[in-house]
Amino acid sequence: MSKLVKIMLKDIRFFAHHGVYENEKIEGQYFSINLEMECVLDKVFESDLIKDTIDYEHIYNIVKDIVLSYSYNLLETIADKIISELLLIPKIKSIFVEVRKMNPPIEGSEISYVAVSLYESKSS
C-alpha cells in the first residue's frame, strides 16, 4: 500500500516584476507563494535518504526560476507555470499552489494581498 505524503512550502517570498500595469513591471512588488504537494514516497520511510523524498531546495529553485525569470501579467499564469513544472517530478501526484500579490495597487484600498489558487493532479 502506498503512503501519500503532503509536503508544504509556505510563504515563499520574492520581489518580482509582475502585473497588468506598466509601473508594476518597472517598480516591482512583493509576492508570496504557498505550495502543497501530495507525493508517493514509499521508500523514504525505510531509507531516510533525500533521494527518496522531495528535495525542498529543488522545489524552491524551480519556483524561484519561474517567478524571477519572466514578467507575467496575471497571477493565474504564474500559478499554472509552477504547477506545470512541478508535476513533471514523478513522485508528485497533485499540487495546490497559491500565488499572492502583497499590497496590490488598488487605488484607495488597504488590502494585505490578493491571491489566486490552483489545484491539479496527475491522472491515475
Check pLDDT > 90 for residue 42.
no
Q: pLDDT-derived band of residue 124, with 50, 70 and 90 as boundaries? A: low
* Digit-coded pLDDT (tens) for 2-12: 788 999 999 99
Tell me the mean pLDDT in the region 40-59: 93
H runs (alpha helix) in 4-119 = 22-27, 44-47, 56-69, 75-86
* Digit-coded pLDDT (tens) for 67-103: 999 999 999 999 999 999 999 999 999 999 999 999 8
pLDDT number for residue 123: 77
Check pLDDT > 90 for residue 105.
no
pLDDT number for residue 19: 95
* C-alpha cell belonging to residue 90: 514523478
Contact indicator for 78, 101 with CB cutoff of 8 Å? no
Query: What's the whole-model pTM score?
Result: 0.93
* C-alpha cell belonging to residue 26: 518597472
What one-character DSSP code corresponds to residue 122? -
